[in-house]
Every structure is written in C-alpha cells, then in structure tokens.
Structure 1
C-alpha cells in the first residue's frame, strides 16, 4: 500500500512597516500587545512553550518552535483539524521593517481554513499597524 503525500497550501502576507524591528518584535511577542491586534493569549517567546489564543469563534492551540529575537518567530497553529505553522520574518529596511508572515499546512480539503486565513491575516496586519502606531 502506498500513501500519497497530501498537498498543502500557504498563506503569505508581507508588509513594509515604518517601525524598527525591536518595536515590531515587541508587538509580536508581548501578550498584552498580541491581544490588541490578534487574540487573547498566554504567549511567551520561549521555544517549547505551549499556549493558546482565544477569540469569540474559538481557540487555537500553539507551541513555540523558533525564537530569533528581532528576526524570526515560529509557532504551531492548531484549530479543529487544522495543523499548521505560522512563521514570522522581520527584515530591517532603510525605513523600518519588512514583516513577512507565512502560515503553512493548509490541506487541499480545508478550503474554509485557507480562505479564512487569506481574509483574516491582512486584517490582523491592519490591526497590528494600529497597535504599532500607538506604541512608544
């Protein structure tokens, strides 16, 4: 019996932000700030830390996979039967930071999750920009 690997899809959002990487990093890793733009969470930037994100529509179970201060962050993102990974990359630019988010692992038979991520992440980025603009 041969098993065929299931194809997966990725949602990628990239945005140039007029803020230094240190400030963007804070917004990505401090729980009270994450709550302002994404969801309520008990996140800590420690590899292996298991945490949840909660919203009115449900809970996402996560585990920190990678922490490279001010440059990269990755964690699992599991909700229902979705098992995916969110990877953030921060690249310093002459005017601030290029922030890239890739969520990988959407199976072809998960169009609702994939569609939700394609619509949701740009909105989360908008909210993140609002939080960054209000930070000192």
Structure 2
C-alpha cells in the first residue's frame, strides 16, 4: 500500500447534522451505501454488509469522529486481503447545504492493484451520487 488516493466531493442540499446522520446511523447507511449492523462510533469496529444477501462487504474501525465535521475509518474489502486503507470524511458548510469530501488513501499502486483502485473509484462515485437522493 502507498499514497495512491481517491478524492471526491459532492455538494448536498442538507445541513451538516443531516449529512452526518447518513454517515453514522446504521439505518441511514444502508440507504446510500451498505447496511451497517450498528451505528458507527469512534473507537468501535464496524461491518457493512451486502443489501442482497447480508454478506460482509467492508469493515474496519472508526478511528476518529468529530460530529458534523470529520470522520476517519480504517477500511478494507475482500480484494484487499485484509490490508487496511484509510477513508476520511470532511463536512464543510456550503451555500444551501454541505460539501462532503471523501479521501480514500493507502490504496495499492501496483499494476495488479490498479483494477481494484478503478473499481473503488467507480464505487465511491456511485455511492456519493446516491446521497443526492437522500437529502
């Protein structure tokens, strides 16, 4: 793993507390990303599952959580074979709502890992787009 990083921002017509709910509440995560077994809380492990069959999709722990402003996860998926990456969420006030920025770092930089990086990039693009429907 290296400094290969995915960065994406989306502007949402919702205030920061509302966006925070979608990032941390188990019942809200499943509406735009993957269902969670429980709310995401700083210092706790999390598991997000498949909507179809309940299989584990991604997991890690919530490393930091400053409500309504910032959250940091350790994060892995099956193809990473247990290697942990870092997902950071930054919420900033914007005219009419919130700018949400995702930074996913520590991704593979090898030729073999490039397909996974492309898949994660496409996945994050789609998931963040889903948030527009949740405002």
TM range (shorter): 0.7 to 0.9
May I ask how many residue pairs the two structures share in their alignment? Answer: 127
Deviation at 1:85, TM superposition (A): 1.0
Report if the CA contact (8 A) 1:21-1:91 is conserved. Answer: yes
Q: Which runs of 5+ in 1 are unaligned?
A: 1-5
Name which one, 1 or 2, has greater alpha-carbon Rg.
Answer: 1
Deviation of 1:111 (Å): 1.3
Asked whether the equivalents of residues 40 and 46 of structure 2 are also in contact (C-alpha less than 8 Å), the reply is no
Superposed structure 1 runs of 4+ greater than 4 Å apart: none
Q: Compute the RMSD of aligned alpha carbons.
A: 1.7
- In 2, Cα distance between equivalents of 1:113 and 1:85: 15
In terms of fraction of residues, the more strand-rich structure is: 1
Q: Residues 1-136 of structure 1: matches in 2 within 5 Å?
A: 7-55=2-50, 58-80=56-78, 81=81, 82-109=83-110, 110-132=113-135
Gaps of 5+ in 2: none
Distance 2:121 2:107 in 1: 11
